[in-house]
């Protein structure tokens, strides 16, 4: 059995509900449902059962202290026609970056390839398909500095995802606690 896997931090329900409620109806923008919102640490793609078992063994060895991150501000990825609208997580908590590094190390130790691009922690809240930056500007300006709350990160999660016409559906494969 092959699963499409990623490792992420789950967000408190209150923050996901708040983020899901800020998006006005906009042409060419699909707002994510609360259960689709998370902070991705690593996307691994299709992984077979043997490699997944090796990955889970390595992930269980990770030791990073729990931490709190602010959910603040809205931004986009993409230039004149953004593809992703995201909520920010402050200026980068050192424990968040340490966890990201250890997750990548665990994936490599399990024999899985990892993305080599820079880590820009964020929470995707919408996907845009052809919306212009100009059409998003009022929304982005209104929420550039909005504080959506503080999120305590006390565990990380291995998810599998299934791509559907209305967006991805996620299933929790396993969770590991962060240290107190």
The CA-based angle 160-125-106, given to 5 degrees, is 40
Catalytic, 81? Answer no
Q: Which of 79, 93, 95, 122 is catalytic?
A: 122
Residue 38 annotated as catalytic: yes
Instruction: Report the candidate in 119, 138, 136 with the shortest Cα–Cα distance to residue 127.
Output: 136
Task: Provide the sign of the torsion angle of the four alpha carbons 129, 131, 136, 139, taken in this order.
Answer: negative
Report how far residue 171's alpha carbon sits from residue 69's, in angstroms, rounded to the nearest whole number.
24
162: which residues sit within 8 A by CB, 6+ positions away?
Answer: 4, 168, 169, 171
How far apart CA 148 and CA 104 sit, in angstroms, is 28
125 and 11 Cβ atoms separated by less than 8 Å: no
- Our measurement of the distance from residue 134's CA atom to the centroid of its chain's CA atoms, rounded to an integer in Å, reads 25
Return the bridge partners of 146, or none: none
Is residue 127 within 8 Å of residue 43, measured between CB atoms?
no
Which residues are catalytic, by number? Answer: 38, 122
């Amino acid at each position: 059995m092959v699963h499409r896997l990623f490792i992420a931090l789950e967000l408190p329900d209150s923050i996901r509900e708040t983020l899901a409620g800020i998006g006005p109806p906009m042409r060419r923008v699909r707002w994510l449902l609360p259960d689709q919102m998370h902070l991705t640490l690593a996307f691994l793609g299709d992984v077979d059962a043997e490699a997944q078992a090796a990955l889970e063994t390595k992930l269980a060895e990770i030791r990073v202290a729990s931490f709190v991150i602010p959910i603040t501000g809205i931004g986009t990825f993409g230039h004149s026609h953004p593809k992703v609208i995201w909520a920010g997580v402050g200026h980068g908590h050192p424990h968040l970056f340490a966890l990201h590094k250890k997750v990548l190390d665990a994936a490599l130790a399990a024999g899985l390839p990892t993305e080599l691009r820079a880590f820009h922690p964020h929470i995707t809240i919408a996907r845009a398909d052809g919306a212009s930056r100009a059409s998003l500007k009022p929304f982005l300006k209104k929420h550039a500095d909005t504080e959506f709350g503080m999120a305590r990160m006390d565990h990380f999660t291995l998810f599998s995802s299934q791509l559907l016409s209305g967006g991805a559906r996620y299933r929790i494969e396993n969770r590991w606690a962060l240290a107190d």
